[in-house]
Structure 1
Amino acid sequence: MTVIAAREAGITADPDPPTFDEVYAASYTDLAVQLYAYFGDRQEAQDVAQEAFCRALAKWNTIARYDDPVAWIRRVAWNLAVSRWRRTRTALNFLRRQRPDEPRTDGPGPERVALVAALGTLPPAQRRAIVLHYLADLPVAEIALRERVADATIRSHLHRGRAALAAQLKFAEPHGGAS
């Protein structure tokens, strides 16, 4: 590179350019404060300043010879800040175009929570029988076929499961037995 081209590019022939640590120690806080004024968020400002210095470190042999290496780092930081701002604006615009009213469902009520907890205490065979019969609306014969047991076994599981649930939930089992 000729001397004229080096001057135009802002590169000096200084035999002792500043070290990265010196530039970082002298410039990081000022750059973070400037970016904080732009972002209004200290963490974002510090992240962008750190990213700019990381990129400078990767090219430090070249950047150190510039007349003002801090100017390069500041330019990179501002470019990063503008890019983040644009990404945020794009994301917010996308969110604004989404349905404003998402369907909202309430969480489970205390009765459902108690039922699920009580079902968890039943033996697995009784729990499956109760869930398949009352929640999946399957008849006893189909449950017996799926479980590979006799119909009477499923009726027994249902009877015992209902009795255990009634004791835990303090409900009286309706008269009439298993369906």
Structure 2
Amino acid sequence: MKQPHDEPDGLVFDDWYRQEYPRVRQAITLAIADATLGEEATAEAFALAVVHWARVRVMDSPTGWVYTTALSQVRRSWRRAALERRHAARTRLGEYLPPPLPDTTLWQAVAALSPRARTAVALRYVADLPEAEVAQAMNVSRGTVATTLSRARQQLAAHLQTLGEGDRR
């Protein structure tokens, strides 16, 4: 009798999960600048991966699918939060305040990037996805990813250089 973890012709979910989860969580968290939502979106994406494992494990890039799914979860959460803020404003329940970001120079520099640039940087450099997979996860062209990353690197270099010059004064 075949056991749930016997998968001789493909990835074994448990091994794949242990290897990929920390990197996916870190990249998504960096991309969206929200540790709690990053953790939730990543967990939800992997939960969907296990439910659909027979289909996901034979994909060209199961990890790319998880990134795409996690980012979709984030977008749904942002839409829901926007609706909640509008409702709160109408009912005067107060304004939604996001959790504070970690206080590091690099994190601040990345957080200052546009959402698209943050996402591209996180998926390319933290998750170490090739540009083609970053493009697929972000639902943009590979050229858009390359341009976004180039501009983001320039912005980060300028920001970090400005901070470094301030330290020398």
TM range (shorter): 0.3 to 0.5
Return the structure number with greater helix share. Answer: 2
* Structure with max Cα Rg: 1
The two structures have a TM-score, normalised by structure 2, of: 0.47
Quick one: higher RCO (CA 8 Å, sep 6+), 1 or 2? 2
The two structures have a TM-score, normalised by structure 1, of: 0.44
